Amino acid sequence: MPKTPDYFRGKTILITGAASGIGRATALIFAREGANVVCADINEGGVEQTVEQVNAKFGNSGGQALALIIDVTKRAAVEDMVELALDDFGGIQFLFNSAGAALRRSKFLDIDDDLFERTFDLNVKGTFYAMQAVLPHMLAKKFGVIVNMGSMSHRRGGPGSSVHYAAAKGAVVTMTMGVAREFANQGIRALSISPGPVKTPFQDAASSSPELVKKFLDDVPMGRFGEPEEIGELVLFMCSDACQFMTADTVYVNGGGGWR
């Protein structure tokens, strides 16, 4: 939580991957705190449902919500996303790059060019494009916080199921550190979150087998998956004025486990 009451009221966060899971949960949490929420995703129905939920719960007390149907793997689309957000709200103080997925599980020798390239396009390029698009505005205001979605897999390498995804998330964590250090004296903070298994549509999208899901759980001493809201509350804290000396770090949220 922020130190200052109403710290987020009137400020704006741009969230990619906002159609479900962690992105949707984070949108609702920021709206609860009075922030304007720009919800971006390639899933039109999902992102519109997120905005409907925001308006239904916080329309009278929270900030405004905007749905944008955006493919983050396309630089021009991401640049349009930022311009549309600025046109509507006049500023972007926070960016949460939540869009990402393993796309599908694969043993290392079965990873083909298509899977490898699409995984890096979504997870790495999508994050890279969004940061490049929003940073000039943040630098002009000398204020901004960027939170990127990493993964515990970048520490373990994803053997047997997702080396391609682990490598992409490793790139995200490293890129976040570089951006944080490059702009640390210009009012910008950049952080990443590396979760263990969280209850989201991610598992279905990546075709996780029951055996693999059990393997994940067996490695979590708490004996459960995380909840999207638990990650969203962490994003709120990272963006707040309660941790202004924190930058260039990745925060591991894993119920005590190493995951993979």
Instruction: Decide if 68 contacts 84 (C-beta within 8 A).
Output: yes
Indicate which residue of 7, 129, 165, 252 is catalytic. 165
Told to judge if 252 belongs to the known catalytic residues of this protein, a careful annotator would answer: no
In order of 2, 44, 186, 233, the CA distances from 68 in angstroms are 27, 8, 29, 23
Instruction: Decide if 231 contacts 22 (C-beta within 8 A).
Output: yes
Phi and psi for 78 in degrees, rounded to 5?
-65, -40
Dihedral angle computed from the Cα positions of residues 104, 203, 192 and 75, in that order, rounded to the nearest 10 degrees: 50
In order of 137, 185, 217, the CA distances from 143 in angstroms are 9, 10, 39
**CA 181/CA 179 separation, integer angstroms:** 6
In order of 36, 149, 180, the CA distances from 92 in angstroms are 9, 18, 17
Residues that are catalytic: 165
